[in-house]
Structure 1
Amino acid sequence: MKAVQITSFGTADVLRINEVDRPAPGSGEVLVSVEASSVNGHDVIVRGGELKMVSGRRFPIGVGLDFAGVVAATGAGVEAYRVGDRVWGMVHPRQRHSVAGAAEYVVVAAERISHAPADLSSVEAASLVVAGSTALIALRDSVRLVSGEKVLVRGAAGGVGTAAVQLAHAMGGHVTALARDRHAKILTDLGADEVLDYGSTTSDQIGPFDVIVDTVGTELHCYRGRLAKGGRMVTVGLSPSAIAAIAASSVHGSRRIRTFSANPETPVLRDVADRVASGALRPVIDSVYPLADIAAAHQAFERGGVVGKHVVTVPRGSL
């Protein structure tokens, strides 16, 4: 079978589509015939070698954090899924995988998948696995958004950003989206009450906000200062400067910056699926690439200016 792997760290040029043995599910595991996988920041920083402490230096390393597809086989003890079920899920972000989501088949623990939303194609489903679960955890669990609160979503046009705008709106928040001016219409359509152009808007011109969801990872100390009394801020855009700002916020002042590593299991994925079914969340896809062009998908992600997600389609393996 085909699987995207890296055998060295570097730019998108190090991505390789290799022929590997098809894995078999062990006890408690599921073999998924992958139909689509999205490009995530995690994929790019692993490829670049910025997460060596997690991925290690032992190659090959599989590429692709999330996936959507069809159950091809189940291991002993798996009762919730049957061959042919449509599922979505995510490999464990803090473990090394020689084969990951960007492959014809992937083996994962059963608790790392759930049934995919019935009304979504696999491309649409793949676009929401990481984006939807990250936005949900950020708003529901990390900052605990309350209806009526003022919310700023920074980096609102990206995958997590577009999901956060929708979910914050559905949860009753008054949503201000910070993004490029040309993205104003789609963000308004997604539920933003106000869209500000990040190119001409500085942090001291806006706020205060009860909740800030940051997907960028820069200037956190500036935006932290725009929190109202009792305000909460969460960032999912980790960078060296972000880590320093998070550490400082835990020592100085009352407005602590929260962060987390999205690692959704079945209950979170089910909750995201329920919100899709209710109409509170829909996929936003920037572009779709065939597996053979995954390097181009990574390059497009790194150029920025994305609206939603870049998704890679995978040739269907034989069941």
Structure 2
Amino acid sequence: MKAIVYQEFGTADVLQTVEQPKPTIKEDQVLVKVKAFSINPMDWKIRKGEMTLMSGSKFPKYTGADFAGIVEDIGYSVSGIVVGDEVFGVVKNMMKEGVSAEYVAVTSSLIWKKPADISFAQAASIPVVGTAAVTALEKMGNINAQTNILVNGATGGFGMFLLQLLKQKGANITAVTSSKGTEFAKKWGASSVIDYAKEDVLSRKAAYDIVIDLSGKMGYDNAKQIMKSKALFLNPTPKPIEIPLSFIKNLFTSQKHIIVLASPSDKYTDVLLDAVRNGVDIEVNKIFPFADYTEAYQYAEQGGYIGKVVVEVN
């Protein structure tokens, strides 16, 4: 089979295609013929060597964490899934595994049946950012129409799910996005939209109960300027040092810095599948063929697009 790997840390140019045998599966695994995999910021953070404490420095490394495809074989202890099922899923260890290949072997607990009314590209877009959105929602606690929430960087894959889930809760959402993301933010549930090219949200006099920074560009110290005295700042893209520091700082302030670390599971995927059944919009901005994977990653790393970027394998 063809697989995308890299032998050193660096830009998308270090990615290369190699020929490898199909994976062999363990008793609790499923072999999937990959039809599509999505691109997430974690992919290039690992590839650039920014996460070596967790990813290690052993090569070759693969890329991609979530995927969709067709079941080709199952381990003898697997139940509820049969050969030929259309599924989507995610690798167990995003730091050290990848799905950028024609076939992938994955633990059956991280595979779910694909809804018939969405494409493989849409299904591959769900696990990582969808789980992060549900986890963020959980961290927010009890929210309602009186809860003022600012979502910074609101129309990427994470924001796409988060805005729609927040809308279901009736929250009062302010979305910060680009001019081309304005209509999507409104469609997905934002009560008001700020075009970051025209207005600096930090200059506003408004105060929010919750600020979540999906862009990773605002930061807790800046966000405090527009947070209420007992507000939450949610950080889904923490630097490694911020994880322990946030716990210490939170002991001495009422403006809490909350780290959002997500791990896909049935619990979160059930919420996402229910949202899909109820018509949640999954916007795939661009689909690249497998042969153009370098261009796909270069495009994704530039940012500024709406929804998700996906690579189709077959």
Q: Same fold (TM over 0.5)?
A: yes
- Structure 1 residues 258, 180: CA separation in 2 closer, same or farther (over 3 Å shift)? same
| Distance in 1 between residues matched to 2:44 and 2:240, nearest whole Å | 16
- Per-residue CA shift, 1:233-282, capped at 9, x if unaligned? 21112336855873564244112111132210223122211111012x22
Q: Give the drift of 1:193.
A: 1.0
Q: Give the drift of 1:70.
A: 1.4
Paired amino acid for 1:164: L
Match of 1:19 in 2: 19
* Residue aligned with 1:80, SS: coil
Match of 1:183 in 2: 181
Match of 1:48 in 2: 48
Paired amino acid for 2:255: R
In the alignment, does 2:130 pair up with 1:132? yes
Structure-to-structure mapping, 1:1-319, within 5 angstroms: 1-97=1-97, 100-139=98-137, 141-148=138-145, 149-199=147-197, 200-218=199-217, 219-239=219-239, 246=246, 249-279=249-279, 281-315=280-314
Could you tell me the TM-score, scaled by structure 1's length? 0.91
| Distance in 1 between residues matched to 2:17 and 2:141, nearest whole Å | 42
Q: Give the drift of 1:14.
A: 0.5
| Distance in 1 between residues matched to 2:245 and 2:206, nearest whole Å | 19
Paired amino acid for 1:66: D
For structure 1, the residue ranges without an aligned partner over 5 or more in a row are none
| Distance in 1 between residues matched to 2:248 and 2:226, nearest whole Å | 16
Moved more, 67-76 or 88-97: 88-97
* Residue aligned with 1:288, SS: strand
**Identity value in percent:** 32
- Per-residue CA shift, 1:6-26, capped at 9, x if unaligned? 111100001112111101210
Q: Give the drift of 1:128.
A: 2.0
Moved more, 249-258 or 42-51: 249-258
| Distance in 2 between residues matched to 1:154 and 1:143, nearest whole Å | 15
| Distance in 2 between residues matched to 1:146 and 1:11, nearest whole Å | 41
User: Is the Cα contact below 8 Å between 1:113 and 1:266 reproduced in 2?
Assistant: no
Question: Stretches of 4+ moved more than 3 A in 1?
Answer: 239-249
Q: Give the drift of 1:145.
A: 4.5
Q: Give the drift of 1:31.
A: 1.0
- Structure 1 residues 251, 35: CA separation in 2 closer, same or farther (over 3 Å shift)? same
For structure 2, the residue ranges without an aligned partner over 5 or more in a row are none
Paired amino acid for 2:181: H
User: Is the Cα contact below 8 Å between 2:92 and 2:107 reproduced in 1?
Assistant: no
- Per-residue CA shift, 1:89-113, capped at 9, x if unaligned? 111245523xx22211111111112
User: Is the Cα contact below 8 Å between 2:143 and 2:171 reproduced in 1?
Assistant: yes
Q: Give the drift of 1:64.
A: 0.7
* Residue aligned with 2:269, SS: helix
Paired amino acid for 1:143: M
Q: Give the drift of 1:182.
A: 2.8
| Distance in 1 between residues matched to 2:266 and 2:17, nearest whole Å | 29
CA RMSD of aligned residues (A): 1.9
Q: Give the drift of 1:206.
A: 4.8
Q: Give the drift of 1:225.
A: 3.7
